[in-house]
Structure 1
Amino acid sequence: MNENQGNHAMALAPSLDLSIVIPCYNEAENLRPLTAEITAALQDQNLAYEIIYIDDGSTDESFEIIRQLYQEDHHVVGIRFRRNHGQTAAFAAGFNHARGRYILTMDADRQNDPADIPTLLTKIQEGYDVVNGWRHNRQDAFLLRKVPSYIANRLIARLSHVPLRDRGCSLRIFRAEVVRDLKLYGELHRFIPEMVNFAGFSMAEVPVNHRPRVAGRSKYGLSRTFRVLLDLVTVLFLRKYSDRPMHFFGSLGILASGSGGLIGLYLALLKIWAGIQGGWDGFRSMRIGERPLLLLAILLIIIGIQFLSMGLIAELIVRTYYESQNKTVYYIKETIGYSNHTSDQIQPSTVSATGENKS
């Protein structure tokens, strides 16, 4: 199944109650026990569900294990990448192929506890659109993982005005419509709360268990923290200016050109004042052309014009994007007088996953 087919499939009515999306990279030792724990956690839930494993270019036997799990239990399906694309791409593929009314994400390293799945299901059924897990007893290295995570969480919460305790927890659950049109790249899966908040969806946060890794090797490190901070800049820009880039570039252009104009006016007043005090000789002796401030003024005016031009070009790009793809710059929560067939109206199904999805 290609990406377009995946997107089309998700646009249809969900046929399952729950899709569990799990990216994995060299996690062969963890997949079988994780599947057993998920099955045990859902045993009494009376749900039609699927477990979607996304093999992110593993070099071990991860996909062979997924194939075996599918043969043993058709609740398990698998997607295999040709190469390692990263966790964000894996989540995006899982979202595009998911068939559940609710979509739950978690890591494959077994540090997320499947026993918390019923808790998240109960919370989202209270009416929330997204429920985030909060690792209140985090089992990670203090200096290398906990401290950078704490600083990043506080910084992101302050800048984004989305007060979550733990953005790094992959254990989350969504209504299907929340992630249907979500565009993910870079490390943006960590900013899903900010993205869905911007779209107007409601969120909650619940404490979840966190366990030490028992097999495999962690793929996280300090370098990822810096990449996350760079992606934060992207998210904040898109949050405020994605549909009105001229406001951003135009403001910079006006600031730069205005500063250049003020410097030019200052130099002109200096020359006029020299003429008032010294007559024609004083006016001629004030050579503002030899002053570095004049070059700075000209440079700022040119930069300002460039920013304004960039804003106009960005506006044209945004208009072309929305008009050519029938995109809207708003999110509709509810309508009156229209035939509405969203996933909220679909009753729980008893259909089980019966086939293997391949990207």
Structure 2
Amino acid sequence: MTSDFSRIPPHRLSIVVPMYNEVDNVEPFVTAVHEALANYPFEWELIIANDGSRDGTREALDEQVKLRGPHVRPVHLWRNFRQTAAMQAGIDAARGDVIVTLDGDLQNDPQDIPALVEKLLVDDLDLVAGWRQNRQDGFILRKIPSKIANRLIRRITELEFQDLGCSLKAYRTSVLRRVRLYGEMHRFIPAWMATVTSPARMSEVPVRHHARTRGESKYGISRTLRVVLDLLAVNFFLRFAGRPGHFFGGVGLGIGMIGGLILSYLLALKLTGESIGGRPLMWLGFFCVIGGLQFLTTGVLAELLIRIYYDRGESAPYHTTNGPALPESEGWHRQH
């Protein structure tokens, strides 16, 4: 994909990259980004969130700052918080009007960055996601879990994205900052953004994909289970984020009504002279009523908690060892 820079409105670009134990990819990746943006006419910065790496990634990143300049900005997390939290750390540190995220293993191609930004700004969108049409991954360990996850996500979120697992995405910063990421939620960013902007302002474009040549993959079959669990949370928030009492209350009323019907039936038998004391059905009815009441009270508590959540916000799911942030006027790179 090629870009016509004359069509792109003026902006500042922040590139956010989570890294974990990628010491062999640090120098090649930073070089690839600089080559991809060699003729980029706007200010940009490269933020690499080092997710508690223990293989020398931190030292390699600090060396790149010395070689390239302050526009290369490492964010060092003091332990491994996983990819989503590292990505959120980078997003929090970003200062650009546009944020592009991608993986640091060089499977995403930095050459696609300008085209995604052009699509985002020229078409006035809030999100442009990459679509790896020709994936260069192992079929069993990567493609099958990805297909399963994408199918589940599309079915539940009703968003017609073909490749939600692709980290290469471009965002309008003002919209992206209205959502927070945790768990394995980096896969569900389009779903979360659909709660703060229209799906009509999101798009998907084909991007290149390369086989990993350095380091070890951090993905596998085990992630599918975590994705399913997080998908349940996404589904809950999409449908009941502002009214959790309706969810818990609905479940509580249903269970309570079943218990009430069972006890009413047993009461009718008792009135006809039958013994009901030793029937397991009585215990089932009793516990259904108790369970229904518990769900109802949980719904009330959830309503209180969700109001606190919206009023006070959410604390960041990570801690960094970095010093104070750079002033807005420093740390930018521009081709001369």
For normalisation by structure 1, the TM-score amounts to: 0.81
Q: Contact 2:18–2:86 at 8 Å: present in 1 too?
A: yes
The residue identity in structure 1 corresponding to 2:276 is I
Match of 1:91 in 2: 87
Taking the aligned partners of 2:307 and 2:47, their CA distance within structure 1 comes to 36
Q: What's the Cα RMSD here?
A: 2.0
Match of 1:241 in 2: 240
State the secondary structure of the residue aligned to 1:100: coil
State the secondary structure of the residue aligned to 1:258: helix
Pairing of 1:277-288 with structure 2 (within 5 A): 283-284=272-273, 286-288=274-276
Taking the aligned partners of 1:212 and 1:315, their CA distance within structure 2 comes to 47
Match of 1:334 in 2: none
Which digits, 9 at most, give the CA deviation of each residue in 1:186-210, with x for residues without a partner?
1111111110012224210001000
Match of 1:300 in 2: 288
Closer/same/farther in 2, CA of residues 77 and 326 from structure 1, 3 Å limit: closer
1:152 partnered with 2:149? yes
Q: Which runs of 5+ in 1 are unaligned?
A: 1-14, 273-282, 328-349
- Pick aligned residue for 1:26 from 6, 17, 21: 21
State the secondary structure of the residue aligned to 2:255: helix
Which digits, 9 at most, give the CA deviation of each residue in 1:230-282, with x for residues without a partner?
1111111111112211101100110011111112222334455xxxxxxxxxx
- Pick aligned residue for 1:68 from 63, 67, 73: 63
Pairing of 1:1-359 with structure 2 (within 5 A): 17-74=12-69, 75-125=71-121, 126-201=123-198, 202-271=201-270, 283-284=272-273, 286-323=274-311, 325=312, 353=331
The residue identity in structure 2 corresponding to 1:196 is M
Taking the aligned partners of 1:200 and 1:122, their CA distance within structure 2 comes to 19
Q: Contact 1:50–1:352 at 8 Å: present in 2 too?
A: no
How big is the shift at 1:293? 1.3
Which digits, 9 at most, give the CA deviation of each residue in 1:151-196, with x for residues without a partner?
1111110011111111111000100112213221111111111100
State the secondary structure of the residue aligned to 1:155: helix
How big is the shift at 1:114? 0.8
Residue correspondences, number: 307
The residue identity in structure 1 corresponding to 2:84 is T
Identity rate, percent: 45
Q: Which runs of 5+ in 2 are unaligned?
A: 1-9, 315-327
State the secondary structure of the residue aligned to 2:194: helix
